[in-house]
Every structure is written in C-alpha cells, then in structure tokens.
C-alpha cells in the first residue's frame, strides 16, 4: 500500500478541480485586486481629463506635443488672449461750413446786412452810406414819361421832383434836409426820419426802406394839413435834381 504525502495530495486536488471559465474571477483576492486596479485608474484619469477646468484668466486649448517621437494632441490651459481696444484717432475740430455761393444770375443784395440791430450813431453811419447821393423814385431805371422822386445829395440838399407826360415838371422843390434818428435791422432794412425846411418852416418825412429797395414814406407838411402816405417808390443809387 502506497502512502500519499501532503504534497502529492495537494497536486491531486488541484488536478481534479474544474478549470475556471473565461468570465470567472481569480480565486486569489490579491491577484483580482491587482487586475482591477489598472482599469479603475484608467477610467478615473479619463474622467478627470473631461472635467478639467482652468483657473481664472486661462482657457483649455488643444495643443500639439511630442511624445516618444510622435506628435499627439493634448489639452492644456493657456492664458486667455486680451483684446486691445482699437486706437481712436482724434478728430480735428470742425469748422463751420462756408456759406453757399449765390445762385448764378442772382442779384447782389442792395444793402449789406449788419447781422444785428443798429441804432443811434451806428445806424446813422450805416444809413448815410446808402442815403447820400441816392433817390427814391417810381422810375428807378429812368426814361419814364412820368416820375416822382425824392433825392438826397451828399451836401444835404433835398430835391422833390414830379414830371407828367403832358405838362412836364409840375413839382420843383429843393431845400436842406437834416437827419434826425434811424434804425437798421439785422437783415439790412432801414428806416429814418428827417426834417426838410420849406420856406423856413420845418416839414417832416419818415422813410422805411426794405431789403429789396421798396420805399414807403410819410410826409407831415409844415402847414399841418395832415400826414400823407407816400407809396410806389424804390431806392436807386444816384441823386438827381429837377432839371432832368
């Protein structure tokens, strides 16, 4: 009779045990833990890579790196690019646009607009610039069969003349005039009053001259017969006496 040693029994026992199936876990717990640990660690690394968050001021970017002689793409935190504000070129101070030129063929204004109201001596200086050596007439172009006109000469002579086609000269009056007061509007229209001596007695005229040269007057005779309105006159350069 053969006596089996403990070693022989152990070998027989292992030989008689059924072979482990493909999905069976190893019997040794230490070996099983060693097998599971690499897989669990790989999943954790992969999860951490997906959840990677960069600190403030940095963003996650894909970059190329060289590993073991190969170029691979990896995620890295890189500083966020800061956009610089576009340079602003200072603008030159604007200048007022020049006044548009007058339309071709448009007549020049009769009186330069002062741009503000003039009174007292400033108004007198402005008005005399146009009044002296001028006339108020209903025939500014001349050559009419009939005409009414009032002329102011630079030597302060005043002439009132009236012509008709049949009789000719029917009114012939001359005297000295004395400028009293006047007002000039910003647009260049003006008005004034004057004293004209008539046989030693004063008569009064008030004149209103529009920017287009239209003239309206008011005559208060020396005899006090009442104020007479004068209409239908226009301003014209050049004073004339009653000889023509």
Fold classification of 118-237 is Lipocalin (2.40.128)
Higher pLDDT, 60 or 209: 209
Does 169 score more than 80 pLDDT?
yes
pLDDT at position 193: 96
Structural domain boundaries in the chain? 49-80, 118-237
> Residue 104 contacts by C-beta under 8 Å, 6 or more apart in sequence?
none
Res 80 pLDDT > 70: yes
pTM of the model: 0.56
Strands (E) across the chain are located at: 58-67, 70-79, 118-119, 134-137, 147-152, 157-164, 168-184, 190-198, 201-209, 214-220, 228-237
82-122 per-position pLDDT tens digit: 666 666 666 655 554 554 555 566 677 899 999 999 999 99
The string of pLDDT tens digits covering residues 17-72 is 555 555 445 444 444 444 455 555 555 555 555 556 777 777 777 877 777 777 87
Do the beta carbons of residue 165 and residue 185 sit within 8 Å? no
Distances (CA, A) of 50 to 44, 54, 65, 75, 231: 10, 12, 19, 10, 100
Rounded to 5°, angle at Cα 8 from 5 and 13: 125
* 3: DSSP letter: P
- At residue 70, what are phi and psi to the nearest 5 degrees? -120, 150
């Amino acid at each position: 009779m053969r006596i089996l040693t403990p070693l022989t029994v152990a070998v027989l026992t292992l030989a008689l045990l059924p072979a482990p199936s493909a999905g069976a876990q190893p019997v040794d717990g230490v070996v099983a833990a060693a097998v599971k640990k690499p897989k669990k660690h790989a999943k954790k690394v992969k999860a951490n890579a997906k959840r990677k968050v960069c600190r403030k001021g940095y963003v996650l970017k894909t970059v190329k790196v060289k590993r073991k002689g190969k170029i691979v793409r990896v995620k890295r935190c890189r500083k966020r690019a800061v956009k610089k504000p576009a340079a602003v070129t200072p603008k030159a101070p604007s200048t007022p646009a020049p006044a548009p030129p007058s339309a071709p063929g448009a007549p020049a204004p009769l009186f330069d607009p002062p741009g503000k109201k003039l009174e007292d001596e400033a108004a007198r200086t402005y008005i005399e610039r146009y009044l002296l050596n001028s006339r108020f007439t209903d025939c500014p172009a001349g050559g009419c069969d009939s005409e009414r006109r009032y002329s102011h000469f630079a030597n302060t002579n005043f002439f009132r003349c009236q012509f008709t086609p049949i009789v000719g000269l029917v009114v012939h009056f001359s005297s000295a005039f004395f400028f009293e007061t006047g007002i000039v509007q910003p647009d260049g229209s003006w008005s004034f009053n004057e004293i004209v001596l008539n046989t030693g007695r004063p008569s009064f005229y008030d004149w209103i001259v529009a920017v287009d040269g239209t003239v309206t007057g008011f005559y208060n005779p020396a005899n006090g017969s009442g104020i007479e309105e004068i209409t239908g006159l226009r301003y014209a350069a050049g004073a004339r006496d009653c000889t023509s």
